[in-house]
Structure 1
Amino acid sequence: MKKIYTSFEEAVKEVKDGSTIMVGGFGLVGIPENLILALVESNAKHLTVISNNCGVDDWGLGLLLQNKQIDKMIGSYVGENKEFERQVLTGELEVELVPQGTLAERIRAGGAGIPAFYTPAGVGTPIAEGVEVRNFDGKDYLLQKALKADVSFVRAAKGDTHGNLIYNKTARNFNPMMAAAGRITIAEVEALVEPTELNPDQIHTPGIYVQGLIEGQQEKRVERLTVR
């Protein structure tokens, strides 16, 4: 049995001032909405956040930005958030931009216990500045270090009391690899069920990676609504 939290306030208590956290999601898809809201209320400061992006101005990780809780952001996309832009330009926020595939692999490597790897992405660009370059078979590669977190927050469609998780379609995105890369992983699930209710062949994240779960309903806001 994993720890089953009864309140989101309790679930985010592992995040202290100065913590490094990973937050699953891509845009607003698959983000742990209620855990983020609880983190805003906790007022934990000086956070380093590892996520694909920083949400939008009024939702997701954008709320942590507004509350000045993030000191450093490691991600691959920043285009939907004006407050993000403002804080970067004024020097309030440190940003490490990483090619999206490299970001995913750095997180995956962290969960797999691989300290670093070489990739051709970013060779000859500002990303290569100060980074070790090696040549393999006549081609240059950059050394990239793995990423790990003190706490990972992920979102799943279903989870059982043993911590096994199933994600819904594209909400799978960064969630499985972040679940593996956190020292402590807390999963926000839409439905918490007994272990016998999940098909073992459909489980995306084994319970060995998850330390706690909490059930909650999400708004599932749309980042950009497109209609005919």
Structure 2
Amino acid sequence: MILDRKGLEEKFLEIEDKSTIAIAGFNNSVTPLLLMYSLYETYKKFGRPRELFIEIESFPGVPGTGLDVIARDMYENGDSGFISGMLLPYLYRSEYLQRMVYEEFFEAYSFSIGIATSIFREMAAGRPGVMTRIGLGTFHDPRNSGSFLNEKARREKRCRVDILYIDGEEYLFYRAPKPRYSFIRGSYADTIGNITMRREAIYGATLPVAMSAKAMPDQGKVFAQVEAIVKTGTIPPKEVHVPGPIVDYVVISEEGTHPQAATFYYDPRVSGEIIPERLETKRTSGKLDGREIIRRRLSMELNSLIKELGRPIIVNLGTGIPSEIGPILERLGINGSVYTTVESGPWGGIALAGNDFGAAISPFAVIPQADQFSIYEGGIADAASLGFLQVDSEGNVNPSVLDWRIPGPGGFTDISNGISRIYFAGGFTGGKSDITVREGNIVIEREGDVKKFVNRVKEIFFNGKVALMEKKKIKYITERAVFSLTNDGIMLEEIAPGIDIDRDILPMMDFTPIIRDVRTMDKNIFRDSFP
């Protein structure tokens, strides 16, 4: 059924209070902004539907759009009637939502993106949850925080994680309520509801989110937002991503509610409708500072891995410094041997960063999000590089949690727990620092005022002991030192030229690493011309 705004409002008023609603969307990509805004407007106008439990597979919006807009309005008006609880992997895009969780506006749970995506697929198949080793010994483990973000969640336990044993091995079992309603987005729908993703940046988790609402025993409704309605038969069968018979209602997007990404509305290179002959890699500033040193050292690590394996490698490069190494890979002549992937589904091309993260310019392939995370969780990818906020003496990593800041795991847990080689990359200290290079030596003009190598991380999202048991290779790459994870603890392997261990490293760590046979980092890294 095709709905106008009035018809949409009427259908929203039929949604029962305390219903569970699933929403697909990765930042602004494939996010059904019109459906989200309209539902909230209906609640504000009529006071219902209320006390909804919202389930999300990533984060639908960016600062100033989507869930962030709704959270801001709720927070500023002190409204705790619309939402009674949420399951979402990532809160970083909304300071207001983080504050609402911290201040206990509603119960809040956070599974990683891969688990959240998979759980919709399991619900669609009538299975009770997701069983996996991903998350053992981390924030998700019930012996730690159990994926609860606040006290209300600990009391209510609508979403939960349990420990199971199979042949003596531990697994985590993730469960969440089945949604009765799903909100999805596509490019076009034909007159029987078949939906194509032709103009979208990604597939995301659109299909499993839709199917989860339709599964027995409580078959619900699927709302879809599209740019236009086309004649049945004009969408090639293999382009139909969501079959029409499982879509109940279709609404046409209004102006401003259907962007491919945050900083642009539509680019045919992103949807793969145009494939340029040549890609221009975005250049970094080229300034030889701390970030550039880390980029170069990380690139050399990937180069070594290509030589070790004797073939091209599949990698995931996280946001921040890891995502900035493209120009260096090009200068090293290995960009054609490093197949980059993005959590949301793209392979190759130029992965976009910041609020556009999740989309890519001219990828050579785009697969559904659930399948992309299988690539990570099953260890099919060769390596990943991720940022870090804290590392402790056991090698545990906290990527982002600090005080009221509760960004959630995002895809960090899936990637760092599944892939066999992880290179954590970031500044040695936090806060404002000023690091330069003079005559081939690193010079710390101003030291960061936050220690990142601490006795105990605030929250564990990567567990060093579990990684060692699974024989993973782990390195921590900074501008002045490179560490590795060993059975005896964190070992200092390399220092930058000009760095003194007693002066520049040990005073800025809460623990003493293992120190023996320390090498000097490759001096080519510290030259203006590289490589």
Q: TM-score, normalised by structure 2?
A: 0.40
Return 5+ residue gaps in structure 2 as ranges: 44-48, 147-160, 214-219, 264-353, 357-531
Q: Evaluate the alpha carbon distance shift between residue 158 and residue 216 of structure 1 in structure 2; reply closer, same or farther with a 3 A threshold.
A: same
* Structure 2 match to 1:142: 172
Alpha-carbon distance in 2 for matches of 1:185, 1:14: 13
Answer 1 or 2: higher relative contact order, Cα 8 Å, separation at least 6.
1
- Residue 55 (structure 1) shift: 3.1
Deviation at 1:80, TM superposition (A): 1.2
Q: Which among 48, 72, 75 is matched to residue 85 of structure 2?
A: 72
Task: Report the identity percentage.
Answer: 27
Kindly indicate whether residue 262 of structure 2 is the aligned counterpart of residue 222 of structure 1: yes
Computing the radius of gyration over CA atoms, which structure comes out larger, 1 or 2?
A: 2
Q: Which moves more between the two structures, 129-138 or 90-99?
A: 129-138
Shift of 1:138: 5.4
CA offset digits 1:164-213 (Å, max 9, x no partner): 11114434212111111112001111111121111112111112321111
Alpha-carbon distance in structure 1 between the residues aligned to 2:30 and 2:70: 17
Q: 1:41 to 1:75 in 2, by over 3 A?
A: same
> SS state of the match for residue 37, structure 1?
helix
Asked if the contact 2:28–2:60 (Cα under 8 Å) also holds between the matched residues in 1, the reply is: no
The letter for the 1-side match of 2:204 is N
Deviation at 1:38, TM superposition (A): 0.8
**CA distance in structure 2 between the partners assigned to 1:76 and 1:190 by the alignment:** 27
Q: Is it true that 1:185 corresponds to 2:222 in the alignment? A: yes
Distance 2:134 2:355 in 1: 32
Distance 1:142 1:14 in 2: 37
The answer to whether residue 138 in structure 2 is matched with residue 119 in structure 1 is no
Secondary structure of 2:92's counterpart equals coil
Greater CA deviation, 25-34 or 112-121?
112-121
Q: Do residues 48 (structure 1) and 53 (structure 2) align?
A: yes
Does the alignment pair 1:61 with 2:92?
no
C-alpha distance in 1, partners of 2:102/2:230?
A: 46
In the alignment, the residues of structure 2 paired with residue 188 and residue 11 of structure 1 have an alpha-carbon distance, to the nearest angstrom, of 14
**C-alpha separation in 2, matches of 1:5 and 1:149:** 22
Q: Distance in 2 between matches of 1:89 and 1:56?
A: 19
What TM-score, normalized by structure 1, do the two folds share? 0.88
> SS in structure 1 opposite 2:100?
helix
Runs of 4+ in 1 over 6 A off after TM superposition: none
Q: Distance in 1 between matches of 2:179 and 2:133?
A: 25
1:9 paired residue number:
9
Query: Paired residue for 2:232?
Result: 195
The 5 A counterparts of 1:156-171 are 156-167=186-197, 168-171=199-202
Which moved further from structure 2: 130-139 or 207-216?
130-139
Task: Give the corresponding residue for 1:176.
Answer: 207
Where does structure 1 lack aligned partners over 5 or more consecutive residues? none
The worse-fitting range, judged by mean Cα deviation, of 148-157 and 108-117 is: 108-117
Given that 2:27 and 2:355 are in contact with CA atoms closer than 8 Å, whether structure 1 keeps it comes out as no
Alignment of 1:33 onto 2:73: no
Q: How does 1:62-101 map to 2 (within 5 A)?
A: 62-65=68-71, 66-67=73-74, 68=79, 69-101=82-114
Q: Name the CA distance, whole Å, in 1 between partners of 2:89 and 2:26.
A: 10
Greater mean deviation of Cα atoms: 127-136 or 34-43: 127-136
Question: Residue type of the partner of 2:4?
Answer: T
Contact residue 114 and residue 146 of structure 1 kept, 8 A: no
Distance (Å, rounded) in 1 between the aligned partners of 2:105 and 2:177: 23
**In 2, distance between residues paired with 1:54 and 1:90?**
21
Q: 1:204 to 1:26 in 2, by over 3 A?
A: same
